[in-house]
Amino acid sequence: MPIALQTRSLTKRFARHIAVDDVSMAVPTQAIYGFLGANGAGKTTTLRLALGLLRADSGWVELFGRRVGRDTLPRVGALIENPSLYPHLTGRENLDITRRLLGLDHGEIDRVLAIVDLASAGRQRVGGYSLGMRQRLAIARALLGRPQLLILDEPTNGLDPEGIVDMRSLIRRLPATDGATLIVSSHHLAEIEQVATHVGLIHHGRLLLEQPLDALLGQQTAVEIATDDLVASAELLDRAGYAVAYDLSGRLLLVTASPDQPTASAPIAALLVGERQVLHHLALRRPTLEHAYHRAIAAA
């Protein structure tokens, strides 16, 4: 599949702190690429480097097979950090400023407002918009001129549950509507799991994994366990090299690298029983992105 965005050994320091450390990422065209990482992991800095908004200390970025430059940037739309919108202007007037700068037809405003479901609110002042509406207007602005790559940095930050649902459905339909590739950065793993086709995970500035989501989840099995002595069992499993967590119901949850179920569960059961643990529950679960994330971080 052709690559929309490629970085090679991208590195950025702020004073002595390495914010982005030797990151080589590849975002296939038409992907919805979930760019995951905790606060401060280096997501925004990577995206700013990719857009040429920051200069890298070393490494390089290619957009659509070319080094980032004047000819590649018009093909990219971005929403990075808080969007700056004029509250005293209407949604349409805000969009019109960028439309004129880009030399686009008036029809472009109707097109992007329809995509983000703001056609009927376009003549209202932005000062009266909810946060979710403002985020969607900022995405509409990023869509002006039909960019082939759209970069959304934490688009669900601060949204209420309804705003999150709207944003999720917007993200899902964007590639189909505009044929675009999408990069969505987030620390909300469950949100990303619902929309992404590919994921990249950044931790302390380093890209720990990058894979199609199906392949990532298909390589693992989550095993849920309850014993009489969870603390002792957790210690045993931890010493045996398993990444152990407690799930919401207070059971132990392990994620193994075994994709098939007997090889995932049999050694765990044998280990616990062999160490005289009273095992009264063992069940296999489809792993989630959260499991995969914690496993990757634990192995880092």
Q: How far is the CB of 43 from ligand ATP (least distance, A)?
A: 3
Nearest alpha carbon to residue 252 among 242, 260, 244: 244
The span of 11-19, 59-67, 189-197, 240-248 binding ligand ATP (CB under 6 A) equals 11-19
Q: How far is the CB of 48 from ligand ATP (least distance, A)?
A: 8
Residue 103: which residues within 8 A CB-CB, separation 6 or more? none
Do 127 and 93 contact (CB within 8 A), yes or no?
A: no
Q: Which DSSP helix (H) or strand (E) runs through 29?
A: none
Pairing outcome for strands 26-28 and 17-23: unpaired
Do 137 and 118 contact (CB within 8 A), yes or no?
A: yes
Tokens of residue 172, six digits: 């899902």
C-beta closer to ligand ATP: residue 118 or 189? 189
Contact string 169-208 vs ligand ATP (x = CB under 6 A): ------------------x---------------------
Do 102 and 149 contact (CB within 8 A), yes or no?
A: no
C-beta closer to ligand ATP: residue 17 or 88? 17
Using CB under 6 A as the binding rule, whether residue 19 contacts ligand ATP is answered as yes
- Residue 282 CA to residue 79 CA, distance in Å, equals 45
Distances in Å between the alpha carbon of 262 and those of 258, 283, 285? 9, 11, 13
Using CB under 6 A as the binding rule, whether residue 41 contacts ligand ATP is answered as yes
Residue of 1, 2, 16, 39 that binds ligand ATP (CB under 6 A)? 39
C-beta closer to ligand ATP: residue 42 or 163? 42
The span of 33-41, 100-108, 129-137, 262-270 binding ligand ATP (CB under 6 A) equals 33-41
Using CB under 6 A as the binding rule, whether residue 14 contacts ligand ATP is answered as yes
Residue 5's SS3 state is strand
Tell me the backbone φ, ψ of residue 55, rounded to 5 degrees.
Answer: -95, 130
C-beta closer to ligand ATP: residue 178 or 193? 193
C-beta closer to ligand ATP: residue 40 or 74? 40
The span of 39-47, 72-80, 212-220, 270-278 binding ligand ATP (CB under 6 A) equals 39-47
Tokens of residue 38, six digits: 């905790």
Residue 77's SS3 state is strand
Using CB under 6 A as the binding rule, whether residue 45 contacts ligand ATP is answered as yes
C-beta closer to ligand ATP: residue 39 or 249? 39
The residues of the shown chain that bind ligand ATP, judged by CB under 6 A, are 14, 17, 19, 37, 39-45, 187
